[in-house]
Structure 1
Amino acid sequence: MKLYGLKNCDTCRKAAKALPGAELVDLRQEPLPEPLLDKALASFGEALVNRRSTTWRGLDEAERARPPKDLLRDHASLMKRPLISDGEDLYLGWTADVQKALGL
Protein backbone atom coordinates (compact mmCIF):
# COMPACT_ATOMS: atom_id res chain seq x y z
CA MET A 1 0.00 0.00 0.00
CA LYS A 2 1.22 3.47 -0.88
CA LEU A 3 0.04 6.85 0.32
CA TYR A 4 0.72 9.72 -2.04
CA GLY A 5 0.81 13.11 -0.38
CA LEU A 6 3.19 15.45 1.39
CA LYS A 7 5.39 14.42 4.30
CA ASN A 8 4.57 17.63 6.18
CA CYS A 9 0.78 17.23 5.72
CA ASP A 10 -0.97 16.44 9.01
CA THR A 11 -3.64 14.34 7.29
CA CYS A 12 -1.03 12.29 5.44
CA ARG A 13 0.87 11.70 8.68
CA LYS A 14 -2.32 10.55 10.43
CA ALA A 15 -3.05 8.12 7.60
CA ALA A 16 0.53 6.80 7.60
CA LYS A 17 0.40 6.26 11.36
CA ALA A 18 -2.92 4.38 11.10
CA LEU A 19 -1.58 2.25 8.23
CA PRO A 20 1.80 1.07 9.58
CA GLY A 21 2.68 -1.04 6.54
CA ALA A 22 2.03 1.77 4.08
CA GLU A 23 4.75 3.76 2.33
CA LEU A 24 4.29 7.55 2.23
CA VAL A 25 5.45 8.98 -1.09
CA ASP A 26 6.12 12.73 -0.95
CA LEU A 27 4.81 14.23 -4.19
CA ARG A 28 7.22 17.15 -4.00
CA GLN A 29 10.15 14.74 -4.26
CA GLU A 30 8.62 12.03 -6.45
CA PRO A 31 5.82 13.00 -8.86
CA LEU A 32 2.75 10.81 -9.16
CA PRO A 33 3.38 8.23 -11.92
CA GLU A 34 1.51 9.14 -15.11
CA PRO A 35 -0.61 5.94 -15.25
CA LEU A 36 -1.65 6.41 -11.61
CA LEU A 37 -2.52 10.07 -12.20
CA ASP A 38 -4.68 9.07 -15.18
CA LYS A 39 -6.41 6.35 -13.13
CA ALA A 40 -7.00 8.74 -10.21
CA LEU A 41 -8.44 11.40 -12.53
CA ALA A 42 -10.71 8.78 -14.11
CA SER A 43 -11.87 7.66 -10.65
CA PHE A 44 -12.19 11.00 -8.84
CA GLY A 45 -12.26 13.62 -11.61
CA GLU A 46 -12.25 17.24 -10.41
CA ALA A 47 -12.36 16.09 -6.75
CA LEU A 48 -8.65 15.27 -7.07
CA VAL A 49 -7.91 19.01 -7.12
CA ASN A 50 -8.09 20.59 -3.66
CA ARG A 51 -9.82 23.90 -4.25
CA ARG A 52 -9.55 24.83 -0.56
CA SER A 53 -5.77 24.85 -0.51
CA THR A 54 -3.53 27.85 -0.09
CA THR A 55 -1.92 26.97 -3.41
CA TRP A 56 -5.30 27.14 -5.19
CA ARG A 57 -6.10 30.52 -3.66
CA GLY A 58 -2.76 31.80 -4.92
CA LEU A 59 -3.50 30.91 -8.55
CA ASP A 60 -4.88 33.44 -10.99
CA GLU A 61 -8.01 32.72 -13.05
CA ALA A 62 -6.04 31.70 -16.15
CA GLU A 63 -4.06 29.15 -14.14
CA ARG A 64 -7.21 27.79 -12.45
CA ALA A 65 -8.81 27.25 -15.86
CA ARG A 66 -6.10 24.79 -16.93
CA PRO A 67 -6.96 21.06 -17.11
CA PRO A 68 -6.66 19.24 -13.74
CA LYS A 69 -3.89 16.97 -15.00
CA ASP A 70 -1.70 19.94 -15.96
CA LEU A 71 -2.39 21.69 -12.65
CA LEU A 72 -1.46 18.60 -10.64
CA ARG A 73 1.73 18.11 -12.66
CA ASP A 74 2.84 21.69 -11.99
CA HIS A 75 1.58 22.02 -8.40
CA ALA A 76 1.87 18.80 -6.35
CA SER A 77 0.35 20.48 -3.31
CA LEU A 78 -2.93 21.02 -5.21
CA MET A 79 -3.83 17.33 -4.97
CA LYS A 80 -6.36 16.35 -2.33
CA ARG A 81 -4.45 14.20 0.12
CA PRO A 82 -3.71 11.46 0.66
CA LEU A 83 -4.26 9.38 -2.45
CA ILE A 84 -4.08 5.79 -1.23
CA SER A 85 -3.21 3.01 -3.64
CA ASP A 86 -3.96 -0.48 -2.37
CA GLY A 87 -3.38 -2.87 -5.24
CA GLU A 88 -5.97 -1.94 -7.86
CA ASP A 89 -8.08 0.10 -5.41
CA LEU A 90 -7.73 3.86 -4.98
CA TYR A 91 -8.99 5.96 -2.09
CA LEU A 92 -8.93 9.74 -1.81
CA GLY A 93 -8.66 11.63 1.45
CA TRP A 94 -8.72 10.38 5.01
CA THR A 95 -12.42 10.43 5.78
CA ALA A 96 -14.38 8.03 7.97
CA ASP A 97 -15.63 6.30 4.80
CA VAL A 98 -12.08 5.70 3.56
CA GLN A 99 -10.99 4.43 6.96
CA LYS A 100 -13.98 2.05 7.06
CA ALA A 101 -13.24 0.80 3.53
CA LEU A 102 -9.68 0.05 4.65
CA GLY A 103 -10.96 -1.90 7.64
CA LEU A 104 -10.00 0.60 10.36
Structure 2
Amino acid sequence: MKLYGLKNCDTCRKARKALQAFGNDVEFIDVRQSPLDATTLAKFLDTFGDDKLLNKKSTTWRQLDAAARALPALALLRDHPSLMKRPVIQTDDGLFLGWAKDVQTHFGCDV
Protein backbone atom coordinates (compact mmCIF):
# COMPACT_ATOMS: atom_id res chain seq x y z
CA MET A 1 0.00 0.00 0.00
CA LYS A 2 1.26 3.46 -0.90
CA LEU A 3 0.07 6.65 0.72
CA TYR A 4 0.82 9.84 -1.22
CA GLY A 5 0.67 13.10 0.70
CA LEU A 6 2.66 15.64 2.67
CA LYS A 7 4.56 14.80 5.82
CA ASN A 8 3.17 17.85 7.62
CA CYS A 9 -0.47 17.18 6.62
CA ASP A 10 -2.58 16.23 9.64
CA THR A 11 -4.97 14.13 7.56
CA CYS A 12 -2.11 12.19 5.99
CA ARG A 13 -0.60 11.52 9.42
CA LYS A 14 -3.97 10.31 10.78
CA ALA A 15 -4.54 8.05 7.79
CA ARG A 16 -1.06 6.58 7.95
CA LYS A 17 -1.26 5.96 11.69
CA ALA A 18 -4.70 4.32 11.44
CA LEU A 19 -3.75 2.16 8.45
CA GLN A 20 -0.61 0.95 10.22
CA ALA A 21 -2.54 0.32 13.45
CA PHE A 22 -4.82 -2.02 11.50
CA GLY A 23 -1.87 -4.04 10.23
CA ASN A 24 -1.23 -2.45 6.86
CA ASP A 25 2.28 -2.03 5.53
CA VAL A 26 2.23 1.60 4.39
CA GLU A 27 4.86 3.14 2.15
CA PHE A 28 4.59 6.91 2.58
CA ILE A 29 5.52 9.14 -0.36
CA ASP A 30 5.86 12.85 0.37
CA VAL A 31 4.91 14.46 -2.93
CA ARG A 32 7.03 17.53 -2.18
CA GLN A 33 10.20 15.58 -1.45
CA SER A 34 9.62 12.97 -4.16
CA PRO A 35 7.69 14.70 -6.95
CA LEU A 36 5.36 12.41 -8.86
CA ASP A 37 6.07 11.62 -12.48
CA ALA A 38 3.64 12.61 -15.24
CA THR A 39 2.37 9.04 -15.62
CA THR A 40 1.38 8.76 -11.95
CA LEU A 41 -0.24 12.21 -11.94
CA ALA A 42 -2.14 11.39 -15.13
CA LYS A 43 -3.39 8.15 -13.54
CA PHE A 44 -4.62 10.08 -10.49
CA LEU A 45 -6.31 12.66 -12.71
CA ASP A 46 -7.96 9.95 -14.83
CA THR A 47 -9.24 8.22 -11.71
CA PHE A 48 -10.50 11.21 -9.74
CA GLY A 49 -10.81 14.07 -12.23
CA ASP A 50 -9.45 17.61 -11.98
CA ASP A 51 -12.34 18.82 -9.86
CA LYS A 52 -11.65 16.31 -7.08
CA LEU A 53 -7.86 16.02 -7.19
CA LEU A 54 -7.09 19.75 -7.32
CA ASN A 55 -7.55 21.43 -3.95
CA LYS A 56 -8.98 24.79 -4.96
CA LYS A 57 -9.58 25.74 -1.33
CA SER A 58 -5.89 25.59 -0.44
CA THR A 59 -3.60 28.50 0.34
CA THR A 60 -1.44 27.47 -2.61
CA TRP A 61 -4.40 27.82 -5.01
CA ARG A 62 -5.37 31.22 -3.61
CA GLN A 63 -1.81 32.47 -4.13
CA LEU A 64 -1.79 31.55 -7.83
CA ASP A 65 -2.55 34.23 -10.39
CA ALA A 66 -5.21 33.76 -13.06
CA ALA A 67 -2.67 32.68 -15.69
CA ALA A 68 -1.31 29.93 -13.44
CA ARG A 69 -4.82 28.75 -12.52
CA ALA A 70 -5.60 28.38 -16.23
CA LEU A 71 -2.79 25.84 -16.74
CA PRO A 72 -3.73 22.18 -17.24
CA ALA A 73 -4.16 20.24 -14.00
CA LEU A 74 -1.18 18.02 -14.79
CA ALA A 75 1.13 21.05 -15.05
CA LEU A 76 -0.31 22.60 -11.89
CA LEU A 77 0.20 19.42 -9.86
CA ARG A 78 3.70 18.94 -11.23
CA ASP A 79 4.69 22.51 -10.36
CA HIS A 80 2.73 22.75 -7.09
CA PRO A 81 2.45 19.30 -5.45
CA SER A 82 0.64 20.73 -2.43
CA LEU A 83 -2.38 21.41 -4.69
CA MET A 84 -3.18 17.69 -4.63
CA LYS A 85 -5.98 16.73 -2.28
CA ARG A 86 -4.62 14.26 0.20
CA PRO A 87 -4.02 11.54 0.90
CA VAL A 88 -4.13 9.39 -2.21
CA ILE A 89 -3.96 5.75 -1.19
CA GLN A 90 -2.91 3.16 -3.74
CA THR A 91 -3.59 -0.53 -3.18
CA ASP A 92 -4.22 -3.62 -5.29
CA ASP A 93 -7.94 -2.67 -5.00
CA GLY A 94 -7.36 0.68 -6.71
CA LEU A 95 -6.92 4.32 -5.77
CA PHE A 96 -8.67 6.14 -2.94
CA LEU A 97 -8.77 9.89 -2.32
CA GLY A 98 -8.96 11.51 1.09
CA TRP A 99 -9.62 10.09 4.52
CA ALA A 100 -13.39 10.46 4.75
CA LYS A 101 -15.61 7.91 6.47
CA ASP A 102 -16.14 5.84 3.31
CA VAL A 103 -12.38 5.38 2.82
CA GLN A 104 -11.88 4.59 6.50
CA THR A 105 -14.68 2.00 6.28
CA HIS A 106 -13.13 0.41 3.18
CA PHE A 107 -9.91 -0.18 5.12
CA GLY A 108 -11.68 -1.21 8.34
CA CYS A 109 -10.30 1.81 10.22
CA ASP A 110 -13.65 3.36 11.20
CA VAL A 111 -13.93 1.63 14.54
TM range (shorter): over 0.9
> In the alignment, which of 76, 83, 88 is matched to residue 83 of structure 1?
88
Question: Are 1:5 and 1:12, in contact at CA under 8 Å, matched by a contact in 2?
Answer: yes
Structure 1 portions without partners, runs of 5+:
none
Q: Which runs of no fewer than 5 residues in structure 2 stay unpaired?
A: none
Name 1:3's counterpart in structure 2: 3
Compared CA separation, residues 37 and 88, structure 1 to 2 (3 A): farther
Residue pair 1:5, 1:27 contacting (<8 A) in 2 also: yes
Q: Give yes or no for contact 1:7–1:26 (8 Å, CA) kept in 2.
A: yes
| Matched length | 104
Percent of aligned pairs with the same amino acid: 60
Give the drift of 1:88: 5.0
Q: How does 1:1-104 map to 2 (within 5 A)?
A: 1-20=1-20, 21-46=25-50, 47-87=52-92, 89-104=94-109
Residue type of the partner of 1:55?
T
Q: TM-score, normalised by structure 1?
A: 0.94
- In 1, Cα distance between equivalents of 2:36 and 2:91: 15
Give the match's secondary structure for 1:7: coil
- Give, as a single letter, the amino acid of the residue that structure 2 aligns with 1:45: G
Normalising by structure 2, we get a TM-score of: 0.88
